[in-house]
Structure 1
Amino acid sequence: MTDIRILLVDDQALLRMGFRMVLEAEPGFVVVGEASDGVSGVHQAAALRPDVILMDVRMPGMNGIEATRAIVREVPESRVLILTTFDLDEYAFEALRAGASGFLLKDARPAELVAAIGAVASGDAAVSPRVTRQLLELFGSDLPVAGREIGDPLPSGGSGHPAARRGPPHATRLAALTDREHEVLVAIAEGLTNTEIASRLVVSESTVKSHVGRVLTKLQARDRVQAVILAYEAGLVSPTER
């Protein structure tokens, strides 16, 4: 199995050292570089092409949100895991909108850090759709519709669905979804797990998993978290819906 290659981006040298010690003691993990600010982090990401980037939010100069947006655009194969002090705060929300695949508290236990990096490296998200929904309900009231790109870019819209009538650039990819895939996308946006979606649609979990995979592929979403945000920005689900 290939090692998971990790880049550390944080302006606190002691914190980077702590993360490096934890990660390099873990089989299958290798820290390939460090950066002390966002600009350097973007340059290092482009040069090293790591699998996962641990990104601090608050840094001098280019902050972690801006750096994440640049990395998603320039190094799309690298996944960003945001380091934050508070889990349900606006910085975490904006980082997810910028294209991060999850966030982690800076005081997380080593096992949580390792699990989150493993999840992100495998293409999953390190924050559940349900938590993403909570963030949207707290900070999503000003979400623009149809035309706002998540990171760069995740279109929404579709020929037969409400978002489709809002026009480009989102229409094409949502239009590619079947009616069942559209149902699955809405369920994901509501924070439902695969088990809950299977119960709602009266299908097997394996069928739901297949639908989810096709939805992410057609939307070119990096993971379920980005699909949730896309659905909200497309107007398919509102933050106040239950």
Structure 2
Amino acid sequence: MIRVLLVDDDPVICRHLEAILLSDPKIRVLGWAHDGPEAVRNAARLEPDVVLLDLRMPGGDGLEAIAPITAEAPECRVVVLTAYDTDRDVATALARGAAGYVLKSSDPAELVHVVHVCASGQQVLSPHVVHHLTGQASSQQTLVTMIRRALTDRELETLRGLAAGLSNVQVAQELGISVATVKGHVSSLVRKLGCESRLQAGLLARDARLDLDRLPKR
């Protein structure tokens, strides 16, 4: 069971999010908070697995609450849920320890997926956010940071192979692992990066200029 704390200054949004999440029997909503300070207190008291955190709240900024939440509840994963997708907000949220960044306009199924992924200890960004970052040259470092934090070392190595145009067989040969293992890494990284295919993931890595000249060997 994934235990979730919802943080938004609008009770209507909290009710909407709760309805979405409770459509999944593996998710339980522990409660709500309506500003950053209350989110920190409730996270310490309730010990949720995931906190869905709005950024702009009159009673206390969500960005300021990320680090205190993770300090008070070290096992908790903070997912920013906001209408804002500026590269500065994304970069700041990641730097302060956010495990995910999702737009409020995202599809309900995507939101549920992100909660599951982040609860498992991984990091993920909404496809909308990834698309926004790839469209801005100034966001390259944010995109690189996101990719590095989202993927395991092996998934990162596999992604470099995709960006270099290698087939699964060629990546397996380069890394000294089985083709089946490569396929598993590809499926995982495509999901974490919000991509629809291995090709899109490879192009994303190219946009980030992710050390394409270096494919580490085992």
What's the TM-score, normalizing by structure 1?
Answer: 0.58
Deviation at 1:50, TM superposition (A): 0.3
Choose the corresponding residue for 1:81, options 76, 79, 82. 79
How far apart, CA to CA, are the structure 2 residues paired with 1:59 and 1:109?
Answer: 23
8 Å contact 1:197–1:208 — kept in the other structure? Answer: no
1:40 maps to 38
* Structure 1 residues 119 and 53, CA gap change in structure 2 (3 angstroms): same
In the alignment, is residue 52 of structure 1 matched against residue 50 of structure 2?
yes
* Structure 1 residues 198 and 124, CA gap change in structure 2 (3 angstroms): farther
RMSD, aligned CA: 3.8
1:15 maps to 13
Choose the corresponding residue for 1:117, options 98, 115, 118. 115
8 Å contact 2:158–2:182 — kept in the other structure? Answer: no
8 Å contact 1:6–1:30 — kept in the other structure? Answer: yes
1:201 maps to 175
**SS, match of residue 114 in structure 1:** helix
How far apart, CA to CA, are the structure 2 residues paired with 1:141 and 1:112?
Answer: 25
8 Å contact 1:9–1:55 — kept in the other structure? Answer: yes
How far apart, CA to CA, are the structure 2 residues paired with 1:124 and 1:209?
Answer: 15
Identical amino acids, percent of aligned pairs:
36
The structure richer in helix per residue is 2
Deviation at 1:100, TM superposition (A): 0.7
Which segments of structure 1 move beyond 2 Å, counting only runs of 4 or more?
A: 86-89, 130-142, 184-193, 195-210, 239-242
Deviation at 1:74, TM superposition (A): 2.1
**SS, match of residue 20 in structure 1:** helix
8 Å contact 1:131–1:191 — kept in the other structure? Answer: no
Residue 177 of structure 2 aligns with an amino acid whose one-letter code is V
Deviation at 1:139, TM superposition (A): 4.3
Deviation at 1:86, TM superposition (A): 4.0
8 Å contact 1:11–1:35 — kept in the other structure? Answer: yes
How far apart, CA to CA, are the structure 2 residues paired with 1:78 and 1:191?
Answer: 33
**SS, match of residue 95 in structure 1:** helix
8 Å contact 2:161–2:171 — kept in the other structure? Answer: no
Q: Which runs of 5+ in 1 are unaligned?
A: 143-149, 151-180, 211-223, 226-238
Aligned residues: 174
8 Å contact 2:80–2:93 — kept in the other structure? Answer: yes
Residue 203 of structure 1 aligns with an amino acid whose one-letter code is I
1:4 maps to 2
Deviation at 1:104, TM superposition (A): 0.8
8 Å contact 1:85–1:106 — kept in the other structure? Answer: yes
1:31 maps to 29
* Structure 1 residues 141 and 207, CA gap change in structure 2 (3 angstroms): closer
1:62 maps to 60
What's the TM-score, normalizing by structure 2?
Answer: 0.64
Deviation at 1:96, TM superposition (A): 1.1
2:96 maps to 98
Deviation at 1:199, TM superposition (A): 6.4
How far apart, CA to CA, are the structure 2 residues paired with 1:78 and 1:43?
Answer: 13
Question: What is the CA deviation profile of residues 164-203 of structure 1, one whole-angstrom value per residue up to 9, with x for unaligned ones?
Answer: xxxxxxxxxxxxxxxxx6xx5974897979x696565343
**SS, match of residue 111 in structure 1:** helix
* Structure 1 residues 186 and 30, CA gap change in structure 2 (3 angstroms): closer
**SS, match of residue 11 in structure 1:** coil
8 Å contact 2:171–2:182 — kept in the other structure? Answer: no
